[in-house]
Amino acid sequence: MANKLINQMGLPKSIANIFAARNIITAKDALSLTEFELMELLDVGMTEVTFAMAHISEVVCPPCQTALLLMEQRVRNESLAGHLPTRLKGLDEALCGGIPFGVLTELVGPPGIGKTQFCLKLSLLASLPVNCGGLEGRVIYIDVESKFSSKRLIEIGTKSFPEIFYKKGMAQEMAGRIMILRPTSLSEFAESLHRIKVSLLQQQVKLLIIDSMAALVLGEHDSGASRQQALGWHVSFIKSLAEFSRIPIVLTNQVRSQIGDESLMYSFQARSHSTKEDTPVTFDSHLVAALGINWAHAVTIRLVLESKSGQRFIKLAKSPISPPLAFPFNITASGIVLLDDNGIEMKGPEINNIHCQGQNALSNYER
């Protein structure tokens, strides 16, 4: 608003012309001067200057809004911005429609908990025809740890959408819309990101998945300082991709052991110390997300996948539009299935802690 042109503010033409003649073009130019400075510069009286300044201030000053109005606008904007439904009713309702477009959504959890299963299902949903509730687009899947399974993808598709996948040639067509990249280093990953930016518009890409971001960074940098430095550019570029393309971007993250009093902090305030995912996990270990605080601030939605006493949970640990909620789930042949659409509200350390209890007793559909 500070750069709004004075000649477009509805001032009397005689006064607007004087401002233009003295090269005072924008509201910022005028409001940066005192009334006495303007009197001298414009060669007009105090009455004219006071009137002009009051009018310019009124035009550029945003109106007062109530907290209720701001909340209603936020919910309305979320609904209009676009979402990729997960087909998990309770989670979609909490997210006002699903995985939001234009921001980063993170999946974090211990190995074998179901992060890749979630990503495979999202890939299918993005490639489905619009009349079946999909986005009918291509998917770029960056498979850092070579966990992507075409066989499992087709299994989820045939069990979830038999009316589509049993049609002749449809399974091949759907799988053909998912492009797999497997960078082996951060430098290769950076090159992939630059190529992706061009592909997003040219190839009708509707979803970008990076599985997993932590594997790239933790595999090359051992110290926290160098890791955060390397991560910084990539985070900024990925965020710009989301904003530029207005598509959902989903990234998976690993976990590390809890340090000190981190359980007292919110889920987006974890410190930057981290260890690799392969660190042995004890029974009922309390873990936190890897990659540190700068990464946590970069993601808009954080979904935590954990297990307690043999039961898996999806926790909506960070969201601008929902309280922290936990949903029990199982992994079946058709993918992730919620056992209850009514989320359990969480408070305190439970938002941040990631449990890994009794995981060996979980089902065969892992990762």
Confidence grade of residue 278 (pLDDT, cut at 50, 70, 90): very low
pLDDT tens digits, 118-177: 999 999 999 988 888 888 889 999 999 899 999 999 899 999 988 888 887 777 888 889
pLDDT tens digits, 308-331: 888 999 999 999 989 999 999 999
CATH superfamily of 69-352: P-loop containing nucleotide triphosphate hydrolases (3.40.50.300)
Confidence grade of residue 276 (pLDDT, cut at 50, 70, 90): very low
Q: Which H or E run includes 57?
A: helix 46-60
Q: CA-to-CA distance for 197 and 245, rounded, in angstroms?
A: 8
* Preceding peptide of 149 cis, ω within 30°: no
Q: What pLDDT score does 342 carry? A: 93
Q: CA-to-CA distance for 327 and 339, rounded, in angstroms?
A: 7
Residues 326-343: what's their mean pLDDT?
95
Tell me phi and psi for residue 177, to 5 degrees. Answer: -85, -5
Q: Decide if 240 contacts 94 (C-beta within 8 A).
A: no
Q: Which residue do the tokens 């009286």 mark?
A: 45
Q: CA-to-CA distance for 348 and 266, rounded, in angstroms?
A: 8
CB atoms within 10 A of CB 133: 12
Q: CA-to-CA distance for 117 and 367, rounded, in angstroms?
A: 6
Q: What pLDDT score does 76 carry? A: 62
Q: Decide if 137 contacts 177 (C-beta within 8 A).
A: yes
Q: CA-to-CA distance for 223 and 204, rounded, in angstroms?
A: 39
Q: What pLDDT score does 81 carry? A: 63
Is the pLDDT score of 363 beyond 50? Answer: no
Q: CA-to-CA distance for 365 and 367, rounded, in angstroms?
A: 7
Confidence grade of residue 264 (pLDDT, cut at 50, 70, 90): very low
pTM above 0.85, yes or no: no
Mean pLDDT, the chain, rounded, equals: 82
Q: Decide if 108 contacts 119 (C-beta within 8 A).
A: no
136 conformational bin, left if phi > 0, alpha if psi -120 to 50, beta if neither = left
* Preceding peptide of 212 cis, ω within 30°: yes
Is the pLDDT score of 339 beyond 90? Answer: yes
Q: CA-to-CA distance for 122 and 336, rounded, in angstroms?
A: 11
Q: Which residue do the tokens 């997300």 mark?
A: 289
Q: What pLDDT score does 227 carry? A: 63
Q: What pLDDT score does 187 carry? A: 84
Q: Which residue do the tokens 């009794």 mark?
A: 358
Query: For the chain, what are the domain ranges?
Result: 13-60, 69-352
Q: Which two tokens stand for residue 334?
A: 């058709």
Residue 172, SS3 per DSSP: helix
Q: Which residue do the tokens 């999946």 mark?
A: 107
